[in-house]
Amino acid sequence: MSSDQDHLKETDTEKRFEFKKEEKSAFEAEKGLTEETIRVISEDKDEPEWMLERRLRALEQWHELPMPDDWPGAPDISEVDVDEIIPYIRPDIETRGGVDDWNDLPEEIQDTFDKLGIPEAEKNALSGVGAQYESEIVYQNMQEQWEEKGVVFCDMDKAVQEHEEIVREHFMTKAVPPSDNKFAALHGAIWSGGSFVYVPEDTSVDMPIQAYFRMNSDGMGQFEHTLIIAEESSEVHYIEGCSAPKYSEFNLHSGGVEVFVGENAHVQYSTVQNWSKNTYNLNTKRAICEADGTMEWVSGSMGSKATMLYPSTVLKGPGATDNHITIAMAGEGQNIDTGAKVYHNAPDTKSTIESKSISKDGGRTNYRGLVHIADGAEDASTSVECDALMFDNESTSDTMPYMEIQESKVDVAHEATVGKIGDEDVFYLQSRGLDDDDAKQMIVAGFIEPLTEELPIEYAVEMNRLIELEMEGSLG
């Protein structure tokens, strides 16, 4: 491919994620986090009283809990001032809870998701699609073959109204209580939008379900909540994508994810996020896995100014399994602090964590993880592998694994490697006809292959495009 074609491809990809739309909303809350704001949001959503009570309790916990800024090597999040954040923007669409036909969306929202490729992905690779714009889902659709089998895929606001009993039982009570950390409490107080997925017993959803979250406004926060319940012997793959244009003011993303994996069920949760470089990404994600169930987390973090994200799984039942594959890429001005947490609370449980990080132009990546094996969790096994690749001497990469082993009859392994792109590797590929840039891109592509091979082909291609975009200007 010629250099002109390369530039055109990179420019088109960059435009795809960096474009902005004129703001149009039906309702916008005042800046800041107050009881009055929460009551206004809850009233606008016509929520039941129990949800309002949970929001207000979470607000109290937000004020009580400390900021996570005293951890060793933690990103600087001092700029995050909730009083300067717009917590809730309802897009200007006629149907609350979204529409199920792209043509019913306002033209500017339709154009946004067209540019991101969502309709094309839905046609080619997905069982269902949800699209959130600002604070609410604007589009939601599920193929009829899965609806007929009892699979539910809808936005969380609709789930609170139509599946109230099951939401009330699971929402921020077992997996991610507001007391978990300060930003979980913030999320519990002001959450809006997100996805509800319910898969009945003995049902396998053969094609992935995707939700895409887009922040379009300057200085806003997005707080979507995802609740996935996979009953016994069921299977589902959920993919989330995230992006936002870059503005002068900071944006905040503080989502919440709760996954319940039934006995012998299998859930894969994949994330491909490309938040803009002015976004703070402070999420809480946790799964509870019953006997012989399998939970898989596949995470790609390319964007944001700072990320603090540690998907975790509680292996509650004997024979439960948890697998993590994460990749983080940090460039100039970025601090990507990611990792994984696994709690082995039962015998014969297994976990693997494979972390890949790339840093360039002075960027910083850090793996921060925890493996806890409880007393009585006999024959538990875990393997942690952390690999870091750096482009230059200004970039940094750290590994902070914590192992809490309270049982002697276990198998624990940990391995970490840190290195720079080697001149010998580049020379070898150049001897096969590649130029310097293409050689380095091929090395990076091979480095992240464990992640991309876990994604449907359309998303693996997208991941590689994002990596190429992030590498633009750093090679040579």
pLDDT of residue 412: 95
Q: Where is average pLDDT lowest: 168-182, 220-234, 408-422, 437-451?
A: 437-451
Strands 89-91 and 25-28: antiparallel
Q: Which of 6-20, 49-63, 404-418 has the highest mean pLDDT?
A: 49-63
% pLDDT > 70, the chain = 69
pLDDT of residue 284: 96
Q: Where is average pLDDT lowest: 4-8, 55-59, 169-173, 381-385?
A: 4-8
CB 375 within 8 A of CB 346: no
pLDDT(70) > 60:
yes
Who has greater pLDDT, 421 or 86?
86
pLDDT(260) > 90:
yes
pTM equals 0.83
The model's pLDDT over 446-474, given as tens digits with 9 standing for 90+, comes to 777 766 676 665 556 656 666 666 655 44
pLDDT of residue 306: 92
Model confidence at 22, pLDDT cuts 50, 70, 90, reads: very low
The model's pLDDT over 197-220, given as tens digits with 9 standing for 90+, comes to 999 999 998 877 877 766 555 555
* Helix (H), strand (E) counts: the chain: 13, 26
pLDDT of residue 115: 52
The alpha-helical segments, DSSP class H, found in 19-48 are 35-44
Vertex 53 angle, CA 47 and 55, to 5°: 80
Q: At what angle do helices 3-18 and 457-471 cross, to 10 degrees?
A: 100
pLDDT of residue 320: 98
Q: Which of 299-303, 315-319, 429-433, 466-470 has the highest mean pLDDT?
A: 315-319
The model's pLDDT over 128-178, given as tens digits with 9 standing for 90+, comes to 455 545 444 444 455 567 778 899 988 899 999 999 999 999 999 999 999
- Given CA atoms 303, 306, 310, 311 in this order, what sign does their dihedral have? negative
pLDDT of residue 235: 97
The model's pLDDT over 274-285, given as tens digits with 9 standing for 90+, comes to 777 888 999 999
pLDDT of residue 391: 78
pLDDT(24) > 60:
no
pLDDT(252) > 90:
no
Q: Which of 55-59, 108-112, 442-446 has the highest mean pLDDT?
A: 55-59
CB 131 within 8 A of CB 210: no
3-state secondary structure of 237: strand
Q: Which amino acid is residue 273, in one-letter code?
A: Q
Who has greater pLDDT, 237 or 242?
237
3-state secondary structure of 204: strand
% pLDDT > 90, the chain = 41
Who has greater pLDDT, 212 or 114?
212
Rounded Cα distance, 218 and 230, in Å: 36
CB 324 within 8 A of CB 341: no
